[in-house]
Amino acid sequence: MRAGRDAVDQTEENVNLSLGVFDVFAYSVPGSLYLTLLLYVLDRLSWVDLTQVGDLNSTVLIVGGIVASYLLGHLTYAPRRFLGRHLPEWLSPRGDARREFLDRFPAARSKAFVQADPALVFAAIEVKAADSAVEISRLRASGIAVRNAGIAFLLAAAVAVTELIAGPERGLAAFCAGAFLAGFVGATRAGHELSRWAALKTLEVAFWLPDIEATLAAMPPVPSPQPAPAPPSPPAPPA
């Protein structure tokens, strides 16, 4: 009884850690960059006075910053995905993790988990090896966070270009514009690389979990979709 309770507690701890890691890396970290940029723009437009922020309660500032960063991370996720689909190939390399895995482990070519849906394989890893699932979640969340941060760097570069045109510190603005553009390129490419590592790690972990392969191999194959029947021909006109 004690062992069963310990196992349940350990599973809940792993799940909570997985959710916490994903939320912090995927949403809160890039959201904090968007929040910083937004506050800077509002201050430059004289819509807010950041000099009065120090007079506020520190607890309110910390909690409010965390909540605002988390919400901004969620709100900017969909636009980032839309922009990501229209980026040039050199900026968003999408390596085939399955092909790379099979090149390294040719013996796995006939395995069922290689052909299964990656989300299904990851769900099985969460059940069979929670610690490994946490590591994969960390890689996935890091990839999302870095790609989201890349869009924040691109927006910051646009603000820096505006400062270069209309601001007093043109030398600093030019340096920031170049640095933020370089950060956008590097973060976007690194984010895709982390996502590829997560997909590769999923296959590598599944390879060493025979229960996953046995379960997927025992599943009946999904029937291929059948074409819709042709509509009935209209009746012949009366003679």
Mean pLDDT, residues 73-81 taken together: 84
Q: Which span out of 12-26, 58-72, 188-202 was modeled with the highest average pLDDT?
A: 188-202
Residue 79: pLDDT band (50, 70, 90) is confident
Sequence-separated (6 or more) residues with CB below 8 Å from residue 21 = 134, 137, 138, 141
CA dist 226 and 18 (Å) reads 40
Q: What is the pLDDT of residues 142-193, one digit of tens each?
A: 888 898 899 899 999 999 999 888 878 888 889 999 999 999 999 999 988 9
**Amino acid identity for residue 159 in this structure:** V
Higher pLDDT, 205 or 238: 205
Model pLDDT, residue 67: 87
Query: How far is CA 205 from each of CA 4, 18, 230, rounded to the nearest angstrom?
Result: 25, 17, 46
Chain centroid to Cα 2, Å, comes to: 38
Q: How many separate helices (H) and strands (E) can be counted in the chain?
A: 10, 0
Model pLDDT, residue 14: 42
Sequence-separated (6 or more) residues with CB below 8 Å from residue 198 = 136, 139, 140, 143
Q: Which span out of 1-5, 86-90, 182-186 was modeled with the highest average pLDDT?
A: 182-186
Residue 197 pLDDT greater than 60, yes or no: yes
Would you tell me the crossing angle of helices 118-128 and 130-166 to the nearest 10 degrees?
A: 130
Mean pLDDT, residues 12-18 taken together: 42
Can you give the residue ranges of every domain in the chain? 2-216
Q: What are phi and psi of 53, to 5 degrees?
A: -65, -35
Confidence (pTM): 0.72
Mean pLDDT, residues 214-237 taken together: 67
CA dist 235 and 232 (Å) reads 9
Model pLDDT, residue 156: 93
3-state secondary structure of 89: coil
Q: Which span out of 23-37, 118-132, 216-230 was modeled with the highest average pLDDT?
A: 118-132
Model pLDDT, residue 184: 93
Higher pLDDT, 197 or 227: 197
Residue 19 pLDDT greater than 80, yes or no: no
Sequence-separated (6 or more) residues with CB below 8 Å from residue 188 = 84, 87, 91, 92, 146, 147, 150
Query: What six digits make up the tokens of 65?
Result: 């910053």
Higher pLDDT, 235 or 123: 123
Residue 10 pLDDT greater than 70, yes or no: no
46 φψ region: left (φ > 0), alpha (ψ -120 to 50), beta (else): left
Model pLDDT, residue 202: 93
